[in-house]
Amino acid sequence: MGRAKEIVIKVIPAKIANDFIKKHHYSGKVVPNSKIHFGAFLDNKLHGVMSFGASINKKGTRNLVEGTRWNEFIELNRMAFTDYLPKNSESRCISIVIRMIKKQAPHIKWIISFADACSCGDGTIYRASGFVLTDIRINDALRINPVTKEKMHTITAYHNQNKNFKHWERLKGYQLRYIYFIDKSCRDNLTVKEIPFSTINELGAGMYKGQKK
Amino acid sequence: MTIKEIKITELKPYENNPRMNDGAVDAVANSIREFGFKVPIIIDKENVIVAGHTRLKAAQMLGLDKVLCIVADDLNEDQIKAFRLADNKVGELATWDFNALAKEIAELDTIDVSQFGFDNAEINPDQYDEEFELPDGDKGEFQQMTFTLHNKQAELIKYAIETVDESIKNFGNTNKNGNALYEVVRQWAEQKKSL
């Protein structure tokens, strides 16, 4: 574990978290419905942010675990760390945050998150943190702006470009859905099948730090 | 002492400037780009820089033609040498109130201060705690709905909800417009049923 043990997790304001995410997340974008932000500090400096909030499709998402009430799950919707943090820091940070949620928001029974294997990674950190893989789907919603080379979601492109994006190249890849069960009994109520991690490589969906595996 | 605009090609860096400022040039350039050239360079009578070497480099980086300068023609040679050192030294003596700083940064919505050299060092974990709350329970009984209306549609709806009797069934809702809108729609639905 080494120096990862020295990491301190604090609740930080949205402004500081969002500035950090804009600077360090591969997308450079924040999720507007992030409601709570955890900062990871090492040597008294901020080196990581994990932002949580409601899922966009909350009604549909809660059906993934039968019997889940409206506020009994949360989405980890942004996570970014600097390279300053030692090995295994990310899973340690997630583990501390899960402990904090368990203690201070005991009604939260599970956490959902998505890995973007189109342009970032297939979720190594989630797997190392005890998340369960519940979906691998082709993500063809990303396009590349031919001028700026910026990756943009189709919906964003539609709004920003007034439909003039249809000739943009599609970015092909996968999106992986992970769930962490804080309340372990919820795992029995999962309404979709758990997927073995080996399927990621079988489908060619692997990606690490933006590079196809 | 006079203030004038001078071409940056006419300004002369002090050859024995003891400050190493290359690491600050980007941040100063970002500041000038964001706010304009607001702090003049101080020079002597020969256009040699007394204070403002970093601002000159930033101005060069930004391709500025002229910059505002203060000519310290009221100071003698010794005073200029001393001022050159003092101007840099006194800034080092001040320290940050990190709580106040974090509050100020948090209140800025549209400007990212990291471009001016504020980095993670200014965000001290001691300023924050581990406490938080997340909404509990099931979905609330009340919800808000948003519509986009043409002005003429909005006028009719306003008229309709203003004419509704206040003693209608409200399910505990205290929002008068919501109750009135419900009543209008309820009556419309009843009429549809009876057709």
SS3 call for A16:
helix
In three-state form (DSSP H/G/I as H, E/B as E, the rest C), the secondary structure along A116-161 is: ECCCCCCCHHHHHCCCEEEEEEECCCEEECCCCCCEEEHHHHHHHH
Question: What is the pLDDT, as a whole number, of residue A160?
Answer: 67
Q: Domain check: are B6 and B60 in the same one?
A: yes
Residue B167: pLDDT over 60: yes
Q: What is the pLDDT of residues B36-73, one digit of tens each?
A: 999 999 999 999 999 999 999 999 999 999 999 999 99
CATH topology of domain A2-212: Aminopeptidase (3.40.630)
In a domain? residue B30: yes
Q: Domain check: are B36 and B89 in the same one?
A: yes
Q: Domain check: are B84 and B165 in the same one?
A: no
Q: What is the pLDDT of residues B131-156, one digit of tens each?
A: 998 888 777 778 878 788 899 999 99
Which residue range is the domain that position B127 belongs to? Answer: 96-136
In a domain? residue B190: yes
Question: What is the pLDDT, as a whole number, of residue A210?
Answer: 66
Taking residues B109-124, report their average pLDDT: 72
In a domain? residue B58: yes
In a domain? residue B144: no
Q: Domain check: are B185 and B113 in the same one?
A: no
Kindly state the greatest CA–CA separation across chain B: 100
Decide if B123 touches A, using CB distance below 8 A: yes
**CB-CB: which of B129, B134, B138 is closest to A10?**
B129
Question: Nearest residue on chain B to A70, judged by CA atoms?
Answer: B138
Residue B117: pLDDT over 90: no
Q: Domain check: are B7 and B84 in the same one?
A: yes
In a domain? residue B35: yes
Mutation for B interface: A7, A35, A70, most B CBs within 10 A: A70
A41/B125 Cβ within 8 A: yes
Instruction: Give residue limits of the domains in chain A.
Output: 2-212
Question: What is the pLDDT, as a whole number, of residue A122?
Answer: 86
Q: Domain check: are B124 and B174 in the same one?
A: no
Residues of chain A with confidence (pLDDT) below 50: none
Taking residues B123-133, report their average pLDDT: 84
Question: Nearest residue on chain B to A15, judged by CA atoms?
Answer: B106
Domain count, chain B: 3
In a domain? residue B143: no
Q: What is the pLDDT of residues B62-108, one digit of tens each?
A: 999 999 999 999 999 999 999 989 988 887 788 777 667 777 776 77
Q: Domain check: are B69 and B11 in the same one?
A: yes
In a domain? residue B20: yes
Q: Domain check: are B23 and B72 in the same one?
A: yes
Angle made by CA atoms A106, A107, A109, in degrees to the nearest 5: 95
Residue B195: pLDDT over 80: no
b/e A190-212 (16+ beta carbons within 10 angstroms → b) = beeeebeeeebeeeebbbeeeee
CATH number at B25 reads 3.90.1530.10
Q: How far is CA A61 from CA A57, A75, A110, B144, B152, in A?
A: 6, 10, 11, 21, 39
Question: Nearest residue on chain A to B139, judged by CA atoms?
Answer: A70
